[in-house]
Amino acid sequence: MTGEELIPSLQSLEGRLLFAVPKKGRLLSASLNLLEGADIQFRRENRLDIALVKNLPIALVFLPAADIPTFVGEGRVDLGITGFDQVQEHDAGVRQTSRARRLSNADGPETDGKVHGCETVLDLGFGACKLQVQIPAKGEYAEPKDLIGKNIGTSFVHLAHEYFARLELEQEGATNGERIDLAGRKLRTKIMELSGSVEAACALGVADGIVDLVESGETMKAAGLKAIDTVVESSAILIKSKNPSNPKMVALIAARINGVITAQKYVLCQYNVPRTRLADAVKVTPGKRAPTVTSLEEEGWVAVSAMVEKKRLAPVMDDLAMVGATDILVLDIHNTRGS
Ligand SMILES: Nc1ncnc2c1ncn2[C@@H]1O[C@H](COP(=O)(O)OP(=O)(O)OP(=O)(O)O)[C@@H](O)[C@H]1O
Ligand SMILES: O=P(O)(O)OC[C@H]1O[C@H](OP(=O)(O)OP(=O)(O)O)[C@H](O)[C@@H]1O
């Protein structure tokens, strides 16, 4: 292959499923591990944001996590990995834009007749974090409603808008039965868009509070902030367009990725146990569907193997020993399918 052939042309994308992957940041490395586990082979040329997959009719598109819901939602890309928070922010933005459009009676068709939007296919089990309302730990504010009418710094402007719209409505005593238009509400609170290092906004006096992501809480603590509410709980998800170019290929990739995630979550636990204690042992390791039980050459003993969630492994091994299991082995699962 020459260097030129490595640069995908629009023609070379024809017939290929487009799969968006975060190009940088917190989700990049776990996303690349998933692709490797799913045997999606590619070589990304320096500075190129499109890479052709060698062994499948797929092209990977490397995009900022925040833009992936837009590309997938508009059907430009078939599949994508991004944060649930980003999908929620995108959807809140769509609600606000379409409301503004309706109000201004914009000319022209609002849709092209295709079904738009994205659907969650799988939770990928990494990138867990919370979008939280934060205020100075030692300051004049104590609860979310104290921030009404104040300055809020965030990269999640649409979610922040809806959050404070709801808060303002509650403060005004809006009835629950009322159909509430959060997207269209004009706010007393000022939402300021910041693109990064949002935590610095309070310390610098730019904002009275912020809405930003928290995982370990280290960044928040270092900035002298504390969380007073959670707007969204997030983790990385696989999303698909409602109108994918090749639904069969979407299903194949989803099945492969699901196999990798399941393998990462489980181990295979094998042990020997007297047949008289089998029922108790099976209660400890019921497996995903059921454990495999085989006879041993030794009279009155059986061998059991069952998938066990990694996070439950230590207590499961304790309980197995208690019911009389011996020779307990734990094996890593490299990949799975159909589980
Ligand atoms: N501290 C964190 N722990 C876990 N997941 C996170 C964390 N911060 C962000 N995420 C997840 O990763 C996604 C992308 O965030 P990240 O900060 O890596 O974005 P980015 O593309 O590098 O953009 P930016 O330049 O705005 O930082 C977030 O939407 C969220 O789902
Ligand atoms: O609770 P923690 O574990 O400290 O993580 C939270 C931080 O991680 C993210 O930022 P990131 O470091 O990705 O950089 P950014 O602020 O430039 O987006 C997020 O915006 C927080 O600042």
Distance 66 CA to ligand 1 centre (A): 9
For the chain, where do the domains classified as CATH 3.30.70.120 start and end?
Answer: 266-332
pLDDT at 182: 78
- Asked if residue 317 lies in contact with residue 287, where contact means CB atoms within 8 angstroms, the answer is no
- List the 326-332 sheet strands across, edge first: 292-295, 301-309, 266-274, 326-332
pLDDT in tens, 285-310: 999 888 999 999 889 999 999 999 99
Three-state DSSP at 227 gives: strand
Distance 22 CA to ligand 1 centre (A): 10
Distance 118 CA to ligand 2 centre (A): 26
Here the tokens at position 25 are: 């940041």
CATH number for the domain running over 129-234: 3.40.190.10
- Asked if residue 208 lies in contact with residue 55, where contact means CB atoms within 8 angstroms, the answer is no
Ligand 2 atom 20 nearest Cα: 213
Class of 3-127+236-245 per CATH? alpha beta
Q: Does ligand 2 have an atom closer than 6 angstroms to the CB of 219?
A: yes
CA angle 225, 237, 80 (to 5 degrees): 120
Q: Does ligand 1 have an atom closer than 6 angstroms to the CB of 127?
A: yes
What atom of ligand 2 comes closest to residue 212's alpha carbon? Answer: 20
For the chain, where do the domains classified as CATH 3.40.190.10 start and end?
Answer: 3-127+236-245, 129-234
Element containing residue 119 per DSSP (H, E):
strand 118-123
pLDDT at 171: 86
Q: How many CB atoms lie within 10 A of CB 196?
A: 8
CATH number for the domain running over 266-332: 3.30.70.120
pLDDT at 257: 96
Ligand 1 atom 16 nearest Cα: 25
Residues of the chain with pLDDT under 70: 1-11, 105-115, 174-180, 339
Here the tokens at position 326 are: 């011996």
Please give the Cα distance from 286 to 288 (Å, whole number): 7
pLDDT at 107: 57
pLDDT at 174: 67
pLDDT at 22: 98
Here the tokens at position 196 are: 């990064």
pLDDT at 5: 46
Distance 238 CA to ligand 2 centre (A): 21
> pTM of the entire structure?
0.87
Nearest ligand, measured from the Cα of 129: 1
Please give the Cα distance from 117 to 114 (Å, whole number): 10
